[in-house]
Each structure stands twice: as C-alpha cells, then as structure tokens.
Structure 1
Amino acid sequence: MNRRLLLALVAFALLAVTSGCLGFGTGDVAAERIDAEPPAEYAWESNATTHIEILESTKFAAVYELNQSEIQLFRRDGFGGRNPLSVEAVRYQYPNGTVVNGTEIRARGGAVRQNRDVTTIALPSDAPPGGGGHLAFTSSGSPKRFSLPTYVEGSYEIVLPPDRSIDAPIIGQARPGGYDKSVEDGQVHLYWPDEEVGQNVDTISVQFYLERDLYVFAGIFALFGAIGLGGLFYYRRQIEALRKQREEMGLGVQTDDGDDGPPPGMR
C-alpha cells in the first residue's frame, strides 16, 4: 500500500475516533462520574436561573433552574459542530428540597447519557410535569477563560475564583454586556438579568486574570520600555560619533565660497 495512502487512512481514523464518529464514548455516563462528590457545595439557593461558580482547579460548578424535563449539554467546536460536555457529580434537587445523585436519577426514570454531539440529562419521571427543581453538575474549563452556551433562558450569575478580576482592558472582559458586577468575600460576581440573555444570546463568556498578574505585566512593559530607551540612546550616540568622525576627515563639511555664477558653457 502506498505510504501516503496509509498515512491518510491513519489520520482519518484518528480524526473519526476523536470526533466521536465511530461511536466511542457514547451511551450512559459512568456511575462513578455522575455520583462523584462535587468539588464545591452547589448554590441551590441562588436567585439566578443559572448559577455558575468557576473554581481555582479550572473546574466549574453549574446549577440550572429548569422548566423542561431534560437538558442537552455541549460545547461548540468552532466548525459549526458540537461536542458533548463532560459532566460529573450530577445532582437533581426536587422543589421540596430533596437532592438525588446521578444513579438515583436513573433509578427514578431519568437518564444521564451522551452521544457524539451532546450529553443529555433527563429528569426523573416523578419530577414536576414539564420540569421543575434544580439540576447541578460539575465540568472542566480553561484556566483564565470561561465560555459556555446558554442552555436555558433567564438570568445568569457567574462567580470568579478568589483574587480574579476582569477590569483591565484586553486581558479582562465579559460578554454579553449589560451585566452587573459586585464583589463578595473577595470574589467577583457577574450578573446578567433576564432581558440581557434572550434568544439572541447563545453564549456567555468571561476572560479574567489573577490580580497579581498585573504586576507581572507592568514589570514586563517596564523592562521592554527600558530596553527601547537604551537602544535609542545607543543609536543616537553612534550617529553622533559618526558625525564627528566625518567632520574630522573633512567629509560632509559645507563651505560658502560665494556665487561664482553659472557653470562654464551656460554663461
């Protein structure tokens, strides 16, 4: 078999496996994942429809108030497709306050499964008709950036890890706009009311930084500034030395001998 053809087949196989086209990683999510202990206590009492706390471990804990019997969780891949969101520590809270884990959700007629496009969580069959209560899970994200589709309509609250901020331009921002910002116990809270997260907003994203990073950036800018000034000073010194050298050699020295008229042949 041609070597290039073999390499192409291997590359295609790897692409198919990693994209889920061959069906690997589909089906029920493992019980040990959905029953795992959450890394932080879920904010069941939040006033927001969706409450997301970003943890220092780069994981995030999400709590959704549902008015639907199931939810599909995914991330966009940048090419118009979707990849299933990896979830763990799944919990459902009934309107009366009872909390059950992922295995109990299944035992009561619900589901936690994934295919090559989405992770689907269906509420227990004894949940209120049309949904109700709160669904919580934990997933992973990036160290200094959070981005997730808006799976449900309503208000959103995102809590940053301690000592993080979004105030510095370029390295800090949140989208969409129209949010309220507050600081509670050293953590930044960003809140979007219902009217700011409607049908026209499909993603909420936050880019943040550790506050001590500002001192690092300031030091880097100061260093590059000093290097630039030093280079400019050195360049001017070289130009001045060259000018003096030309003067000593009698080059480039202009003298005024008067006007002797036009050149020969033009008088």
Structure 2
Amino acid sequence: MNRRLLAAGLLVLLVGLAGCASFLGSDDPDPEELEADGEYDWETPANTTYNVSRSQFQAVIAVENQSNLVVYRTDELGTDEPMSLRALQFRYPNGTVVTANASNLGATTEGQRTNLSLPQEQGQVAFTSPRPNAKRFSIPVFREGSHAVILPPRARVGIPLLSNVNPGNYNTSVADNRMTIRWGNADRGPVVTRYYLQRDLLIFGSVAAVLLVAGVVGGLYYYRQIRTLQAKREEIGLDVEMDDDEFDDGPPPGMR
C-alpha cells in the first residue's frame, strides 16, 4: 500500500514538473525573436564589432573555420548567463544574408551559454541583445582578433575620472558624432568601456567652478574673521607688545 502511494506521489510530482516546464516554456531563445527584422552594418572596422545604443547593442562577428559560436554575458556579480538574442542573421562571403528561419542557423541554450549554429564555417554572424541603460558596456571576448566598440551618440572616453577602457593599447576616432574604440588584437576579456556624455563635461565643469568660488569666498570670509578677532584683541591689550626696558631695573644692588 505504501509503495503504491509513493509511486502515485512520484507520478503526480513528475506530471506537475512537466506542467510547470510547459507553462514556463523552454530556456532556448524565442524563435520569433530570432527571426525578427534587423539591419546591420556588415562593413565593420574589425573582426568583432559592437554597435552600442542606450538600451541594446548589435554585434557583428566574423567567423572562420567554425560551425558554431558560443556567446554569453556576465552580470554585475560576475556570474555567467545565457545571452538574450533577437534578429539573428548570417552573411555569406558572397554578400548573401540569411535570417534565423533559414536552415542550419539557430540558437540554443546550453547551461550558462548560448550556442549559435552557423550555416557555414566562414562568414559573419550578427545579433541584437538588450543592455542596461548605463554608461558602461562590458562583454567577454568570443574570438581573438581585432575588436571595435561604437559608442552611443555624444559619448566619449579619455578623461580618467569619468571614463575607463580595458584592455589598453587602443585607439579612438570620431565620425558622425560617434566615437569608435579599436583594439588591434583582443585575446583576453572582458572588453570594458565606461564612458561619459559630452554634456557631463559641462555639468562637471559647472560644479567644479561653483566649488572653487565657494572655496574662495569661504577663505576670504574666514580671513576677515581672523583679522577682526586680532583687532579686537589688540584693542583690549591682549596682544600689545611690551618693551622689555620698562620692566628692566638693571642688575641687583651690589652688582651695578
């Protein structure tokens, strides 16, 4: 009797888990999201290029001699997790572009990674992924070679207190009010760019000017207070210097 109850309980548990899995859906990327429309600039300045905007980024990655590409993201706590993807596309060397509804182009979730299946071992794969609306972009290195990060409009790096770029040994250029950061070879990750907006310089400069003026005014105020206090002390004779001769009666009697 107990065995029958235990078996029935296990059966109910398995059915419940299956129902929950069916309700929550698969962990694999949504096919409709993968097949969504997307426009990419395939003429990229590097083997791996990230076009960063306020709420998302576009990746265009050149592949050679590989039938798949593994991608992922790292959260603020340093934990790896699968990457959310949409508008997955592949460009053949002859310029033909196919979307995720084409055969042999897709994405699956495997643990903490997202595995992209490619239709050919040579070409370019592109996708779009959401990102926090923050002045920082960080992503692991998925393949060795040149990398480029195109910052949002009016975003800049260069001032140490307001920006940071890793790895080092990079160069920058600006076109159409957008700065591009390039690395000749990035073999270790992550690629990190912390940037500022040009208007931040005006705000930072205004705050610095206000603090400077406040410091000067405060210094003058305390200087005047000290001078006033010294004048009052002199009026009541606390700081009057006495001539030593007024109290000098000379040597004791018998020694004069």
Q: Aligning the two structures, in what range does the TM-score lie when normalised by the shorter sequence?
A: 0.7 to 0.9
Q: Does 1:140 align with 2:130?
A: yes
**C-alpha contact (below 8 Å) 2:29/2:84 kept by paired residues:** no
After TM superposition, what 4+ stretches of structure 1 lie above 6 angstroms from structure 2?
Answer: none
| Mapping for residues 1-267 of structure 1, pairs under 5 Å | 27-38=27-38, 41-55=39-53, 57-67=54-64, 68-77=66-75, 81-102=79-100, 104-105=101-102, 108-115=103-110, 117-123=112-118, 127-128=119-120, 131-141=121-131, 142-193=133-184, 196-198=185-187, 201-258=188-245, 260=248
**C-alpha contact (below 8 Å) 1:25/1:115 kept by paired residues:** no
- Percent identity between matched residues is 35
Larger Rg over CA atoms = 2
- 1:214-251 CA distance string (max 9 Å, x none): 11111110001111111111111111111112222222
Whole-angstrom distance in 2 between the partners of 1:81 and 1:177: 24
Match of 1:96, SS state, is coil
- 1:116-138 CA distance string (max 9 Å, x none): 52222222xxx23xx22111111
When normalised by structure 1's length, the TM-score is 0.75
Whole-angstrom distance in 1 between the partners of 2:105 and 2:58: 21
- 1:159-193 CA distance string (max 9 Å, x none): 12222221323213322222232222222222222
**C-alpha contact (below 8 Å) 1:174/1:205 kept by paired residues:** yes
Q: Alpha carbons of 1:147 and 1:25: their partners in 2 closer, same or farther (altered >3 Å)?
A: farther
Match of 1:64, SS state, is strand
Match of 2:72, SS state, is strand
- 1:84-136 CA distance string (max 9 Å, x none): 2222221122333332223x15xx2443123552222222xxx23xx221111
Q: Kindly state the Cα deviation for residue 260 of structure 1 after the two structures are TM-superposed.
A: 4.2
When normalised by structure 2's length, the TM-score is 0.78
**C-alpha contact (below 8 Å) 1:43/1:51 kept by paired residues:** no
Match of 1:253, SS state, is coil
Match of 2:137, SS state, is strand
Q: Kindly state the Cα deviation for residue 152 of structure 1 after the two structures are TM-superposed.
A: 0.7
| Residue identity opposite 1:251 in structure 2 | L
Q: Kindly state the Cα deviation for residue 65 of structure 1 after the two structures are TM-superposed.
A: 0.7
Whole-angstrom distance in 1 between the partners of 2:97 and 2:140: 25
**C-alpha contact (below 8 Å) 2:90/2:105 kept by paired residues:** no
Q: Alpha carbons of 1:117 and 1:26: their partners in 2 closer, same or farther (altered >3 Å)?
A: farther
Whole-angstrom distance in 2 between the partners of 1:140 and 1:59: 4
Whole-angstrom distance in 2 between the partners of 1:206 and 1:236: 45
Whole-angstrom distance in 2 between the partners of 1:36 and 1:117: 23
Q: Alpha carbons of 1:80 and 1:180: their partners in 2 closer, same or farther (altered >3 Å)?
A: closer
Q: Kindly state the Cα deviation for residue 26 of structure 1 after the two structures are TM-superposed.
A: 5.7
**C-alpha contact (below 8 Å) 2:82/2:111 kept by paired residues:** yes
Gaps of 5+ in 1: 1-23
Q: How many residues of Structure 1 are paired with residues of Structure 2 in the alignment?
A: 226
Gaps of 5+ in 2: 1-23
Whole-angstrom distance in 2 between the partners of 1:207 and 1:50: 19
Q: Kindly state the Cα deviation for residue 80 of structure 1 after the two structures are TM-superposed.
A: 5.3
